[in-house]
Structure 1
Amino acid sequence: MALAGDGPASRLDEVTPHLGRTVLVASTAALAGFLFGYDTAVINGAVEAVGEHFGPGKFVLGLAVAIALLGAAVGAWYAGRLADRYGRIRVMVIAAVFFLVSALGSAFAFTIYDLAFWRFIGGVGVGAASVIAPAYIAEISPAHLRGRLGSLQQMAIVVGIFASLLVDYALVSASGSAANPLWFGIETWRWMFLSLAVPALVYGVLSLTIPESPRYLVAKRELTRAADVLRRFVGGDVSAKIKEIAATLRGDDDSGRPGLRALRGTALGVAPIVWVGVLLSVFQQFTGINVIFYYSSTLWRAVGFTEQDAMLTSVITSVTNILTTLIAIALVDRVGRKPLLLVGAAGQFVCLLTMAVVFATAPVVDGTPQLGGAGPVALIAANLYVVFFGCSWGPVVWVMLGEMFNNRIRAMALAVAAAAQWLANFVISTTFPPLASAGLGLAYGLYTLFALLAVVFVIKFIRETKGKELEEMI
């Protein structure tokens, strides 16, 4: 089959990509990250009111909160296969539908159990979004901009978290309490869940306005459409690029869906690069970042802050993560992925070690560590930890997961890695309370160990991908 634009004067071979257009399309895809962050954080303002309304035990309430993470693992696992079969855009729409259904179902839940079900549904949307956004952005971006555009995913996540904090705060300010009725006699906590419907609708509508991934189009042999997308967003020799993409896709079956069998390899039956992606995802979570976000108010009260001060500190932590993500966007295509990961892991190690020592040596009175003069040290270490994470492992992991796999296995390998990330998130989030009960020094000591292992992992196994074309990935 002849490639579109094979003639010497072909319009499709003209180098006419427009930066603003590419940024706009990447930003639209990154809205998945906004929903991802918003959905996972909106529960924070509602959880106490939900407990009062339904009266479940602590275990059931905790499961209703954490079950979204299991849903995310399921959504991530299947998103890759769906993206290879039906396209990246259709998976975006599917994710938006799951977000919308979850928002409506959670807002009008009758019992804690159907609330948990709707939270699981929302988690499926989160998982699908966590796969499709980095894959699509990597496949639509020029190599020299891919890191910065890929970092938009993490920026959208942290902005989504911040937005959910603001919405929760505004709603509670209007009603006086998350348990109080607000508009139309509906409790405030229900409005918190319902607010997710707005960005879900926006994401679903906007995703229908952007082009399909050129790599997917080549896999489906829609070469004219692929050439047009490449010309408008990537540039270069379009005919040569299509041939390169087609060459990297050889070995697929006629449907263009390699499936899990394409991930087979020599490392315990799996391709080594897939293990690198999985471990990259696991280390991102096992250094404890979500403990800072999910349990930050509890942590700050342990340091000695009042509940009101603790909530303010949580907002400050969220803003810090936004600012540091901007730093990562500025640096990722200049200094590279591996240096940022290495500096980030080393910085997290020092901060976590400081927190572990402070909490391990503090006297405990009535189950609460009394930090005294060491409180400010713990506060500084925790915020510096967020700085190191936000400049490195937060955005860079998503950038690398979107670009480190070859065209043939990208969607499936990213799905496996993202599913591992959500399972790791679930493990960290559910084990922190019992670990904290045993001693915060123990909890942060374990995260310190994982940060040290992350340093070793980056040095030995991470290969730099800065400036490389996706077709160069092996």
Structure 2
Amino acid sequence: MDRLPWSKFHWRVVIALGITWVLDGIEITVAGAIGERLTEEGTLHFTAGQIGLAASIYLLGEVVGALYFGRLADKLGRRKLFIITLGVYLIGNLLTAFSFNFLFFIATRFIAGLGIGGEYAAINSAIDELIPADYRGRVDLAINGTYWLGAMIGAAANIAFLNPDLFDVNLGWRLGLLIGPLIGIAVWGLRRHIPESPRWLLTHGQSEEAERIVDGIEGDIKAGGVTLAPVDPSDALLVEQREEPGYKTLAQLIVREYPSRAFLGFMLMVTQSFLYNAIFFTFALILGKFYGISGGAVGYFIFPFAVGNLLGPLLLGKLFDTVGRRIMIGSTYCSSAILLFITGWLFKNGSLNATTQTILWCVIFFIASAAASSAYLTVSEIFPLEVRAKAISLFFAVSQFFGGVIAPFLFGKLIDAAGTGDVLDRDPLFWGYTIGAVLMFLGGLTAFIYGVNAERQSLESIAKPLSARHVAMASGGASRLTGGLGAGVRRDHGAGVLRAGPKGDATDGDTK
């Protein structure tokens, strides 16, 4: 799979699975924008603290969903899970639109979070295992960046639905919450045509099905007039079916075999999660309280902010495959941290208005968006095949708990601490911004020190499968699966053979 050229199949994967981030972007943008509306009389009349808590509950749902569905994705397969988790999200978000009090609102937000959290684990692992090595970095960043396409859709929808001249104040926000489910239903059918990961099939004794899938992918590519080079079988790895490892096994593996990679994943995921969830979930509250921007007008500011976030991964993504992971990840984290601190200082001094604040955020998050997307890319490619989805789930859960669940609630309180009236205390928010900047800078330093040179490497060379052992294969001994996975298939005991390292091994201080 790693040596295939880009094809229509890969476009189908990107469209059908990449919709996850579009939905999450819509979800969080709508929820963030309606926060200010839900504090008004005539709606549910929440406090700013309750809005922050509701955001934290949604992210807590993502944590639980990632851990639960992530384990199932490694046990039952990527394909089954990315169909189920989308359904859970659709149900939860649909119910949120019918909320009548705070308890019902946060309960349905939790359910929607369950689905999105499960999506992250199943989708990230499936994408990495289906996309060729030369494109994996830019594709992962671009797909994660489509979160902001969803944000743009959500912002545009809010401009209309939160306009009191068009919709009643207690109806418009409910209609805005239905945008995500409508798109989700439209693409649900596309996922039925995305196959199971051949890599996952090999480790679960289904080598014939894996070979059939790869034959089909290669057949479509050859039908377009492309000649595929044969795969050198000299680096083949025998992969045998084994007992499904759980989170305990994963934790032991990380501590014993991959300590520096674990620290790297933790720092990248937690720091970007804190930054994004702190600022974006309270975006509308800040615009409303400090700059007098409210209702549907918030969408005019969120839209350009989302454009900057979308363009960052799209324009910078290729550099993560060419310049390299370590340099690009460290640079984007550190530079966005410095810019955030400067912006926080200007905010504290009252030097900004709603427009200049948004422009600076657009610049910061053009860079930070690529950084945040690279965190998901990193944790999805530096751990072995058998625990990939669980590893994504574990790091996602930890990051959302420390960075996501805490940050919106904390920043909601910092906004409340500013007081009321014409004179507001900006110091609490400045210190919140400073914390976010320091954390991002530490994340960048971690990438410079412990980053893995995973660009253009096969997944098996970055992290050898737990059940793999090297086997010598004659030049003519690879089966048809060799042309797709870089593997031959041993049909005894359900074992398969993967080829690792087509362009050299990734290197860092941990065991491969």
Aligned equivalents of 1:442, 1:194: Cα separation in 2: 36
User: Are the aligned partners of 1:17 and 1:232 in contact in 2 as well (CA < 8 Å)?
Assistant: no
The structure-2 alpha-carbon separation of the partners of 1:259 and 1:377, relative to structure 1 and needing over 3 Å to count, comes to closer
Aligned equivalents of 1:80, 1:237: Cα separation in 2: 34
Map of 2:100 onto structure 1 = 110
Please list, as runs of the form range in 1=range in 2, the aligned pairs for 1:283-302 lying within 5 A after superposition.
283-286=271-274, 288-300=275-287
Letter in 2 for 1:102: G
Please list, as runs of the form range in 1=range in 2, the aligned pairs for 1:408-419 lying within 5 A after superposition.
408-419=386-397
Does 2:112 correspond to 1:127? no
Map of 1:80 onto structure 2 = 70
Does 2:19 correspond to 1:35? no
Q: What is the Cα deviation at residue 76 of structure 1?
A: 0.9
Map of 2:180 onto structure 1 = 196
- State the identity as a percent: 21
CA root-mean-square deviation: 3.0
The structure-2 alpha-carbon separation of the partners of 1:56 and 1:293, relative to structure 1 and needing over 3 Å to count, comes to closer
Map of 1:47 onto structure 2 = 35
Letter in 1 for 2:117: G
Aligned equivalents of 2:58, 2:134: Cα separation in 1: 36
SS at match of 2:264: helix
User: Are the aligned partners of 1:17 and 1:231 in contact in 2 as well (CA < 8 Å)?
Assistant: no
The structure-2 alpha-carbon separation of the partners of 1:153 and 1:413, relative to structure 1 and needing over 3 Å to count, comes to same
Q: What is the Cα deviation at residue 329 of structure 1?
A: 2.9
Please list, as runs of the form range in 1=range in 2, the aligned pairs for 1:338-349 lying within 5 A after superposition.
338-349=326-337
Map of 1:387 onto structure 2 = 366
Please list, as runs of the form range in 1=range in 2, the aligned pairs for 1:62-461 lying within 5 A after superposition.
62-173=52-163, 176-177=166-167, 179-180=169-170, 187-233=171-217, 240=233, 244=237, 246-247=238-239, 252-253=242-243, 256-265=244-253, 267=255, 271-286=259-274, 288-300=275-287, 304=291, 306-307=293-294, 311-360=299-348, 362=349, 370-371=350-351, 380-390=359-369, 392-423=370-401, 424-436=403-415, 437=417, 438-461=427-450
Map of 1:10 onto structure 2 = none
SS at match of 1:314: helix
- Provide, for residues 355-410 of structure 1, a one-character-per-residue CA deviation record: whole Å limited to 9, x for no partner: 233244x2xxxxxxx336x98875554332112112x3132122222212121221
- Provide, for residues 261-286 of structure 1, a one-character-per-residue CA deviation record: whole Å limited to 9, x for no partner: 13314749985433332222102123
- Provide, for residues 422-451 of structure 1, a one-character-per-residue CA deviation record: whole Å limited to 9, x for no partner: 221121111113335352221122122212
Aligned equivalents of 2:193, 2:165: Cα separation in 1: 38
User: Are the aligned partners of 2:26 and 2:151 in contact in 1 as well (CA < 8 Å)?
Assistant: yes
Structure in which a larger fraction of residues adopt helix: 1
- Provide, for residues 312-366 of structure 1, a one-character-per-residue CA deviation record: whole Å limited to 9, x for no partner: 2221111111122211333222222222212112211221221233244x2xxxx
The structure-2 alpha-carbon separation of the partners of 1:68 and 1:266, relative to structure 1 and needing over 3 Å to count, comes to closer
- Provide, for residues 102-148 of structure 1, a one-character-per-residue CA deviation record: whole Å limited to 9, x for no partner: 13211223332122111110000111112222111100111111112
User: Are the aligned partners of 2:70 and 2:393 in contact in 1 as well (CA < 8 Å)?
Assistant: yes
The structure-2 alpha-carbon separation of the partners of 1:310 and 1:50, relative to structure 1 and needing over 3 Å to count, comes to closer
Letter in 2 for 1:319: V
Q: What is the Cα deviation at residue 310 of structure 1?
A: 5.3
User: Are the aligned partners of 1:303 and 1:378 in contact in 2 as well (CA < 8 Å)?
Assistant: no
Q: What is the Cα deviation at residue 178 of structure 1?
A: 5.4
Letter in 1 for 2:282: Y
Query: How high is the TM-score relative to the length of structure 2?
Result: 0.77
Q: How many residues align?
A: 439
The structure-2 alpha-carbon separation of the partners of 1:224 and 1:193, relative to structure 1 and needing over 3 Å to count, comes to same
Query: How high is the TM-score relative to the length of structure 1?
Result: 0.83
1:464 equivalent among 445, 453, 456 = 453
User: Are the aligned partners of 2:261 and 2:450 in contact in 1 as well (CA < 8 Å)?
Assistant: no
72-81 or 152-161, which deviates more = 152-161
Letter in 2 for 1:401: V
- Provide, for residues 234-276 of structure 1, a one-character-per-residue CA deviation record: whole Å limited to 9, x for no partner: 87667959953x53x67x31xx444431331474998543333
Q: What is the Cα deviation at residue 414 of structure 1?
A: 0.9
Aligned equivalents of 1:61, 1:34: Cα separation in 2: 22
Q: What is the Cα deviation at residue 92 of structure 1?
A: 0.9
Aligned equivalents of 1:35, 1:236: Cα separation in 2: 38
Q: What is the Cα deviation at residue 204 of structure 1?
A: 2.5
Letter in 2 for 1:469: S
Letter in 2 for 1:371: S
Letter in 2 for 1:198: L
Letter in 2 for 1:85: K
Aligned equivalents of 2:209, 2:232: Cα separation in 1: 12
SS at match of 2:315: helix
The structure-2 alpha-carbon separation of the partners of 1:204 and 1:54, relative to structure 1 and needing over 3 Å to count, comes to same
Aligned equivalents of 2:307, 2:6: Cα separation in 1: 31
The gaps in structure 2 that reach 5 residues or longer are 219-227, 418-426, 464-511
Aligned equivalents of 2:357, 2:251: Cα separation in 1: 43
